[in-house]
Copies of this chain bind each other. A is one copy, B any other.
């Protein structure tokens, strides 16, 4: 039931934004009565919060081992990007909510969201650390800056895709984007490593 309500909420938020949506609309979308929403969620804000708890958090738990299973460096990085692209691509409405409308929310509930975010940061951090320890990435890179770069870059690509008039395959960006990130992180011969078909080695 919670799932059903959250699915409805995602649809409505995606269409009309968080502040532009009313509980009544979400109830209607879910085929329920207004009051029923309140049997499962104490406040409107909780709908957003639960999206993070119920959707993003499981996704992150699902990601972690898949990434760790690969060799450090570019392979892990590529998996990270690939998984995120897949996750958002599978539900554009949900992606809209995460990328756009979850940000409308009162700062008071940011902490709850932050917890999930922190987990994501952790995953990125591990990829970076593993890359550095294994000598694949430069030892001089700043942990914090690397994380911001990886996270915000992905974030902005997804946001761009979500706002595009006509959806396009996010995966189109996978290889060149990973190559750029890898170079930023000081991966040796990042150009060589990536897509031979598209990019020639030219670094030297």
Q: Which residues of A contact B (CB under 8 A)?
A: 17, 19-20, 100, 103-104, 106-107, 138-142, 145-146, 148-149, 151-153, 155-157, 160, 173, 176-177, 180-181, 183-186, 188, 191, 194-196, 198-200, 202-204
Residue of B nearest to A96 (CB): B107
Q: How far is the CA of A196 from the CA of B19 in the complex (A)?
A: 48
Contact status A199-B140, CB under 8 Å = yes
Contact status A173-B145, CB under 8 Å = yes
| Copies held by the complex | 4
Contact status B106-A20, CB under 8 Å = yes
Contact status B202-A140, CB under 8 Å = yes
For residue A121, give the distance in angstroms from its CB to the closest CB of chain B. 11
Q: Which B residues are in CB contact (< 8 Å) with A202?
A: 138-140
Residue of B nearest to A157 (CB): B148
Q: How far is the CA of A106 from the CA of B146 in the complex (A)?
A: 32
Contact status B188-A184, CB under 8 Å = no
Known: A107-B17, A152-B152. A140 touches B200 (CB 8 A): yes
